[in-house]
């Protein structure tokens, strides 16, 4: 199940990278090492085995979101307790034993973290986190890459399916005896005293709602758009 990175795809990406002036903001593949797992959706990645500080990248894994472990706020650092701890352990377990991994580099976010998908032996580790139940889909469709092709290219259907299956099986944060009551992005909004600022689409109905109405869309089906016109360009229609 899910997006796989084959040798042929890797070769194509590397050829394009070597023979064109590819912008850092465009997707490309890098091979390297996991220097450190910092939480359930963030790692330090390095293209050098000696972990030279000049070649390390802080990776925010895309299309998924795990419980917070150390969120900075005005009142100090906060987290989501054992949920964040278990998500961290799951990501470390999924990456354990792989000497090298591949990173689909998708450029930088506003915090200067590199956005990307991490692959180990061809398996999409971002997707594996959602399958484990220790992450939820957190799909942000933004900028030039946000169009009708985005969803197939990024295997968004796979993330939605993985979330539904993990919830049905009661894995991770979906454990009925100990469910996570507040999703990670809601936790961030509350503690950082921010209001929702992204339009939220429903992957099933292809409708989108205003930022404040995100709860109208099931957590496994949510697609976030930074601008209204991005949702429209992606083939979604306003539900208001």
Query: Read out DSSP for 221-235?
Result: GEEEESSHHHHHHTT
Catalytic residue check, 68: yes
Catalytic residue check, 171: no
Distance between CA atoms of residues 130 and 167, nearest Å: 10
Q: Is 165 helix (H, G, I), strand (E, B) or coil?
A: helix
Active-site residue, selected from the candidate residues 4, 48, 60, 104 = 60
Token representation of residue 227:
């601008």
Query: How large a percentage of the chain has pLDDT more than 90?
Result: 86
**pLDDT tens column, 126-174:** 999 999 999 999 999 999 889 999 999 999 999 999 999 999 999 999 9
Residue 21 has pLDDT above 70, yes or no: no
Q: Specify the pTM.
A: 0.89
Active-site residue, selected from the candidate residues 48, 56, 68, 230 = 68
Residue 239 has pLDDT above 60, yes or no: yes
Distance between CA atoms of residues 43 and 14, nearest Å: 23
Model pLDDT, residue 10: 46
Distance between CA atoms of residues 192 and 194, nearest Å: 6
Instruction: Name every residue whose Cβ is closer than 8 Å to that of residue 57 and which is 6 or more positions away in sequence.
Output: 44, 45, 46, 103, 105, 114
**pLDDT tens column, 73-131:** 999 999 999 999 999 999 999 999 999 999 999 999 988 999 999 999 999 999 999 99
Catalytic residue check, 165: no
Q: What's the per-residue H, E or C state across 129-163?
A: HHHHCCCEEEEEECHHHCCCCHHHHCCHHHHHHHH
């Amino acid at each position: 199940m899910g997006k796989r990175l084959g040798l042929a795809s890797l070769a194509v990406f590397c050829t394009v990278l070597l023979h064109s002036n590819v912008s850092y903001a465009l997707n490309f593949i890098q091979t390297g090492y996991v220097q450190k797992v910092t939480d359930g959706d963030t790692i330090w990645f390095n293209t050098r085995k000696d972990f030279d500080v000049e070649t390390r990248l802080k990776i925010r894994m895309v299309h998924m979101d795990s419980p917070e472990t150390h969120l900075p706020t005005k009142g100090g650092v906060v987290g989501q307790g054992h949920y964040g701890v278990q998500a961290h352990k799951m990501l470390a377990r999924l990456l354990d034993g792989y000497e090298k991994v591949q990173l689909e580099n998708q450029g930088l976010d506003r915090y200067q973290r590199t956005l990307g998908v991490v692959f180990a032996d061809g398996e999409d580790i971002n997707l594996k986190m959602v399958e484990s139940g220790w992450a939820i889909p957190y799909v942000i469709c933004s900028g030039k890459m946000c169009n009708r092709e985005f969803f197939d290219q990024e295997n968004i259907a796979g993330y939605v399916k993985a979330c539904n299956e993990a919830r049905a099986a009661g894995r991770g944060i979906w454990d009925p005896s100990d469910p996570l009551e507040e999703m990670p992005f809601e936790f961030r909004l509350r503690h950082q005293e921010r209001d929702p600022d992204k339009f939220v689409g429903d992957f099933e109905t292809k409708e989108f709602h205003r930022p404040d109405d995100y709860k109208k869309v099931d957590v496994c089906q949510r697609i976030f758009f930074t601008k209204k016109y991005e949702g429209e360009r992606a083939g979604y229609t306003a539900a208001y």
